[in-house]
Amino acid sequence: MDSRKSDRGRLIVISAPSGAGKTSIAQAILARHPGMRFSVSATTRPRRPAEVNGRDYFFLSREEFACRVAAGAFAEWEEIYGDLYGTLCSEIQRALTSGETLLFDVDVKGGLSIKKLYPEAVLVFVQPPNVEELRERLRNRHTEDGATLARRMERVPMELSLGERFDHRVVNDVLEQAIEEVDRIVQQAMNH
């Protein structure tokens, strides 16, 4: 084994269609691995009431986001549902140079972009048991209006298709079982 790799941080990316459970799984993984750090994404979308700037997202204006894109500050960025989301290169570099494990909760295209720049990243795609179950989960969240729900559902076929390119795929039928399966993948990644 190359001894230089053991000093380098680990990148673990969890992606999924909205409502498939990636955030719940990511939170459970972080709770199980206190030394792991969460990669906070930047976004232009409005902050939800329970969200905290710098913990859940870095909330930026469109102008500020565009300036950072022009400066090459993002490892990946994407426009989703009219809002911009991105992962700051500085977050990734800090983890890699300090030997930390960095956990990402990003959209599917973002996950693939990270893998392209950082081939050592481990990609985990969380998929719903079926599309109808996903639609029901989104309805039950009560965070989207009808138009937003429809936009999210329009993306699902593309997301499921791109998810086939991930290193691992986990079906979230029973949340606790999905958490256990993702945790096994995480432990394997951290030990290599």
Q: Which two tokens mark 47?
A: 């902050």
- Kindly report, residue by residue over 113-157, the tens digit of the pLDDT: 999 999 999 999 999 988 888 888 887 877 777 887 788 888 899
Whole-structure pTM value: 0.85
Over residues 13-37, the mean pLDDT reads 94
3-190: CATH class: alpha beta
Over the range 38-67, which residues count as b (16 or more CB within 10 Å of their CB) and which as e?
A: bbbbbbbeeeeeeeeeeebbbbbeeeebee
> What does the domain layout of the chain look like in residue ranges?
3-190
Walk across the sheet containing 101-105 and list its strands: 37-38, 101-105, 10-15, 122-127, 168-171
Angle between helix axes 146-163 and 131-141 (nearest 10 degrees) is 140
Report residue 7's pLDDT band, with 50, 70 and 90 as the boundaries.
low
pLDDT at residue 72, as a whole number: 94
In this prediction, residue 40 carries a pLDDT of 92
Look at 44-53, 95-104, 133-142, 165-174 and tell me which has the smallest mean pLDDT.
Answer: 133-142
Give the distance between the most distant pair of CA atoms in the chain.
Answer: 53
User: Using one digit for the tens of pLDDT, what is the confidence trace for 82-109?
Assistant: 899 999 998 899 899 999 999 999 989 9
Gap between the Cα atoms of 123 and 82, Å rounded: 25
- % of the chain exceeding 90 in pLDDT: 69
**At residue 160, does pLDDT exceed 90?**
yes
> 82: left (phi > 0), else alpha (psi -120 to 50), else beta?
left
User: Tokens for 78?
Assistant: 């994407």
